[in-house]
């Protein structure tokens, strides 16, 4: 059975709730939602389209023929102009209303209204058109989906996700049969918590020292679907800090080996493994777009830049982690860790500074990375020579990957996801949820202030937020043409 997902921004939910519950006599009210449908493949995972809310149209004045506390009659003659807009802009139609009387399910009258609206939209735009129906009851959302191919067929909605400073998940059924291995997790966060994790599709990009423990912890925590993306082969030098790999995996693709390991654990998790780099694989990008949550664990700046854009185009949550440090020598010429830190950045579409404003991605780093790809020998030069002779800023000895530090970053990244689902952190005023650094030398935690760039197209101007991709993925020709599946 298809199990689709719906995503609202916090600002959209706020507008909907204010409108639907604001009738002076507590009558039913309705609104239309225009959705962008993301329907791209993630191999081995069930079909699960993402419907991203783009615009809210409040049904005012001549939209309403009659209403009371228990019913709401629509002026159907106003709908064709909306049908035409959906066809012109490649959108799907949603209808949302409230039940002020507290009835906690779709009614018989709702059934009739849905079929009538779907008859109109499919007659205008074709039988492949969808209708997304939502009701607001006691502050919670219920939803279902129909398609013009068969108006009687009701498609299940896995969850309605609302993204603000956290992530609210509505409509997730709670099971009485929680696995024994998750009993203590349930005791800590409550019965719905495990069911909500089970409903999520999570992508992990980069499966090395930080990504491999992140993926294994997510699987053990009860996440329902995992997408594992990495084009690297496992090297012997990786073995001090990775998790889930064996000596037999050396020389093999990390994504395939880690997927096989997680599968062998017998957990209730579905897996999609893509042994390619994100910025070189259309398959990887398409799978990424299907995820609710993305963990960025890659060490390449170009890959991070793609993740930074995807937050806004695809209305996702990005939890990006990394390790930074510096090795120096003492007076005896012996190496020592002068600095060693882990960063966890949590960015949501309407909350948190993007990776560019956090200075995790800079033009200097992008330029240096591209130059090293074209001339690998540059990676061995010191920063002074690079800047003097090649006008590049970067280089120098990279922070060594050490198991306890990379694992600590992974632990904190997954804990950040748990805090989004069920808030348990009480951060002091000097810490920012979107940017937390753990200093392993001095055992303290701090945040860095982001750039104050009011023109940032990612996190300030909303230029990329829900931006429609035209011909190419993320509007970038190098990432290939978009092919949605039905």
Per-residue pLDDT reduced to its tens digit, 207-240: 999 999 999 999 999 999 999 999 999 999 999 9
- Among the listed ranges 51-65, 80-94, 393-407, 460-474, which one has the minimum average pLDDT value? 393-407
Mean pLDDT of 298-318: 96
- pLDDT (tens digit per residue) in 286-296: 999 999 999 99
Residue 2 confidence (pLDDT) above 80: no
pLDDT of residue 384: 65
**Which pairs count as long-range contacts for 167-175, CB under 8 Å and 24+ apart, including other chains?**
167/292, 167/293, 167/317, 167/348, 167/420, 167/421, 169/196, 169/199, 169/200, 169/421, 170/140, 170/141, 170/142, 170/143, 171/140, 171/141, 171/142, 171/143, 172/196, 172/198, 172/199
pLDDT of residue 388: 62
pLDDT of residue 232: 96
Residue 483 confidence (pLDDT) above 90: no
Instruction: Please give the C-alpha separations between residue 238 and each of 250, 261, 401, 410, in angstroms, as whole numbers.
Output: 9, 16, 8, 16
Residue 35 confidence (pLDDT) above 90: yes
The end-to-end CA distance of the chain, in Å, is 14
pLDDT of residue 337: 83
Which helix (H) or strand (E) segment holds residue 221: the answer is helix 211-221
pLDDT cut 90: percent of the chain above it = 82
Mean pLDDT of 122-133: 95
pLDDT of residue 395: 60
Residue that wins the pLDDT comparison between 480 and 391? 480
Nearest partner of 352 among 458, 246, 209, 249, judged by Cα: 458
Domain ranges of the chain: 3-170, 180-467
pLDDT band at 330 (very low <50, low <70, confident <90, very high): confident
Largest CA distance in the chain: 87
Residue that wins the pLDDT comparison between 329 and 266? 266
Question: 174-209 as b/e, with b when 16 or more CB fall inside 10 Å?
Answer: eeeebeeebeebbeebeebbbbbbbbbbbbbbbbbb
Residue 276 confidence (pLDDT) above 90: yes
Nearest partner of 83 among 95, 96, 73, judged by Cα: 95
Check: CB of residue 205 under 8 Å from CB of residue 212.
no
pLDDT band at 385 (very low <50, low <70, confident <90, very high): low
pLDDT of residue 191: 87
pTM: predicted TM-score of the whole model, two decimal places: 0.95
Residue where the block lists tokens 């400073």: 165
CA Rg, the chain, in Å?
24
Residue 394 confidence (pLDDT) above 70: no
Mean pLDDT of 263-268: 95
Nearest partner of 427 among 344, 371, 306, judged by Cα: 344
pLDDT of residue 372: 77
Mean pLDDT of 165-184: 89
Sheet containing 293-296: give its strands across: 270-274, 225-229, 201-205, 293-296, 317-329, 335-347, 436-439, 444-446
Residue 28 confidence (pLDDT) above 70: yes
Residue that wins the pLDDT comparison between 180 and 306? 306
pLDDT band at 368 (very low <50, low <70, confident <90, very high): confident
Mean pLDDT of 28-56: 96
- pLDDT (tens digit per residue) in 95-125: 999 999 888 999 999 999 999 999 999 999 9
Beta strands in 420-479 (DSSP E): 436-439, 444-446
pLDDT of residue 285: 97
DSSP designation for 192:
H
Instruction: Please give the C-alpha separations between residue 264 and each of 205, 248, 371, 457, in angstroms, as whole numbers.
Output: 21, 15, 41, 43
Residue 485 confidence (pLDDT) above 80: no
pLDDT band at 327 (very low <50, low <70, confident <90, very high): confident
Residue 173 confidence (pLDDT) above 70: yes
- Among the listed ranges 14-28, 134-148, 176-190, 305-319, which one has the minimum average pLDDT value? 176-190
Angle between helices 363-374 and 301-313 (to 10 degrees): 130
Residue that wins the pLDDT comparison between 109 and 313? 313
Report the DSSP pairing between strands 150-163 and 3-9.
Answer: parallel
Beta strands in 348-432 (DSSP E): none
Domains 3-170 and 180-467 share a fold: no
Report the DSSP pairing between strands 317-329 and 225-229.
Answer: unpaired
pLDDT of residue 386: 62
Across the chain, mean pLDDT equals 93
pLDDT band at 392 (very low <50, low <70, confident <90, very high): low
Question: 107-127 as b/e, with b when 16 or more CB fall inside 10 Å?
Answer: eeebeebbeebbebbbebbee
Angle at 373 between CA 371 and CA 377, to 5 degrees: 80
DSSP 119-177: HHHHHHH-TT-EEEEEEEETTEEEEEEEETTEEEEEEEEEEEEEESSSEEEESPPPPS-
pLDDT band at 342 (very low <50, low <70, confident <90, very high): very high
Domain spanning 3-170, CATH architecture: 3-Layer(aba) Sandwich (3.40)
CA distance 82 to 303: 38
pLDDT of residue 168: 98
CATH class of the domain defined by 180-467:
alpha beta
């Amino acid at each position: 059975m298809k199990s689709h997902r719906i995503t609202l921004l916090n600002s959209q939910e706020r507008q909907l709730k204010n409108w639907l519950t604001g009738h002076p006599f507590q009558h039913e009210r309705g609104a239309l939602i225009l959705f962008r449908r993301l329907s791209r493949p993630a191999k081995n995972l069930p079909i699960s389209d993402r419907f991203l809310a783009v615009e809210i149209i409040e049904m005012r004045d001549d939209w309403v023929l009659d209403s009371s506390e228990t019913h709401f009659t629509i002026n159907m003659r106003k709908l064709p102009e909306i049908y035409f807009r959906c066809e012109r802009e490649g959108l799907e139609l949603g209808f949302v209303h409230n039940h002020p009387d507290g009835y906690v399910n779709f009614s018989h009258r709702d059934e009739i209204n849905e079929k009538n609206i779907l008859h109109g939209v499919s007659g205008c735009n074709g039988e492949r058109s969808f209708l997304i129906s939502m009701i607001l009851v006691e502050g919670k959302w219920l939803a279902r989906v129909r398609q013009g191919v068969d108006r009687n067929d009701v498609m299940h909605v896995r969850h309605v996700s609302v993204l603000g400073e956290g992530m609210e998940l509505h409509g997730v059924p709670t099971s009485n049969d929680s696995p024994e291995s998750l009993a203590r997790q349930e005791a800590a966060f409550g019965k719905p918590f495990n069911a909500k994790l089970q409903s999520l599709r999570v992508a992990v990009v980069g499966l090395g020292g930080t990504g491999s423990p992140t993926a294994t912890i997510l699987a053990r925590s009860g996440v329902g679907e995992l997408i594992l993306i990495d084009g690297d082969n496992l090297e012997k030098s990786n073995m001090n800090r990775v998790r889930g790999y064996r000596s037999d995996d050396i020389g093999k693709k990390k994504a395939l080996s880690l997927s096989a390991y997680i599968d062998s654990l017998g957990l209730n998790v579905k897996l999609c493994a893509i042994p390619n780099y994100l910025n070189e694989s259309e398959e990887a990008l398409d799978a990424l777009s299907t995820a609710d949550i993305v963990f960025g664990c890659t060490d390449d700046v170009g890959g991070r830049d793609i993740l930074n854009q995807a937050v806004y185009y695809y209305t996702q949550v990005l939890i990006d982690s990394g390790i930074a440090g510096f090795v120096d020598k003492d007076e005896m010429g012996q190496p020592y860790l002068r600095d060693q830190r882990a960063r966890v950045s949590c960015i949501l579409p309407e909350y948190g500074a993007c990776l560019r404003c956090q200075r995790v991605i800079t033009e200097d780093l992008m330029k240096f990375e591209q130059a090293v790809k074209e001339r690998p020998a540059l990676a061995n030069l010191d920063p002074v020579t690079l800047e003097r002779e090649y006008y590049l800023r970067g280089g120098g000895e990279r922070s060594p990957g050490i198991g306890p530090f990379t694992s600590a970053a992974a632990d904190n990244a997954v804990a950040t996801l748990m805090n989004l689902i069920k808030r348990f952190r009480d951060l002091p005023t000097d810490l920012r949820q979107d940017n937390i650094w753990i200093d392993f030398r001095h055992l303290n935690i701090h945040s860095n202030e982001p750039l104050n760039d009011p023109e940032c197209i990612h996190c300030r101007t909303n230029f990329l937020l829900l931006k429609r991709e035209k011909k190419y993925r993320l509007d970038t020709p190098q990432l290939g043409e978009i092919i949605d599946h039905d």
